[in-house]
Amino acid sequence: MATKFNTTKRFGIEGLQSFIPGIKFAIDTAVEHGADSFVIGMAHRGRLQTLAHVLKKPKEVIMAELQGIRPDLEMSSGFQGSGDAKYHLGTTLLRNHEGTGKQIKICMLANPSHLETVNPVVSGRVRAEQHFLGGKDEHRK
């Protein structure tokens, strides 16, 4: 990315190398204990790597978005974004968990421009989903 997008602001994962395997482990452990849905809100650092390696967002889609191209919605699997900054984009993944065979949903929200609002945005999304699903709180912990 430093070669292709040398003038674009980037937030690498330097110093956070254990984050990706850590979040994968946390998700797997939570699924084994009954969780089936995850909502992630995070700052810029490591965001693109998390989208690529945890949410399996195709790297081609990430690269297209960095170039300002909105990819085909079928290819992007749940494109989300505020449009204000390329590194604020999010996505949603539905996949079968390898260990349990259970379908799980992992959603990384588009990053709000003011990072102090990440937690309220995630809380609001989770509450809205609970309300929409008829108050099935026991499945959304």
Domain range for 76: 35-139
**Residue 17 forms part of a structural domain:** no
Question: How do residues 101-125 score in pLDDT, each as one tens digit?
Answer: 899 999 998 877 667 788 888 999 8
Q: 3-state SS string over 95-114?
A: EECCCCCCEEEEEECCCCCC
**CA-to-CA separations, 134 to 22, 121, 128, 137, 140, in angstroms, rounded:** 32, 20, 10, 9, 12
**Residue 26 forms part of a structural domain:** no
Q: Would you say the pTM of this structure is higher than 0.75?
A: no
Edge-to-edge strand ranges of the sheet holding 37-40: 37-40, 103-108, 91-96
Q: What is the CA radius of gyration of the chain?
A: 15
Question: How do residues 75-99 score in pLDDT, each as one tens digit?
Answer: 544 545 444 556 677 788 999 998 8
CA 3 to chain centre: 25
**Residue 27 forms part of a structural domain:** no
Tally of domains in the chain:
1
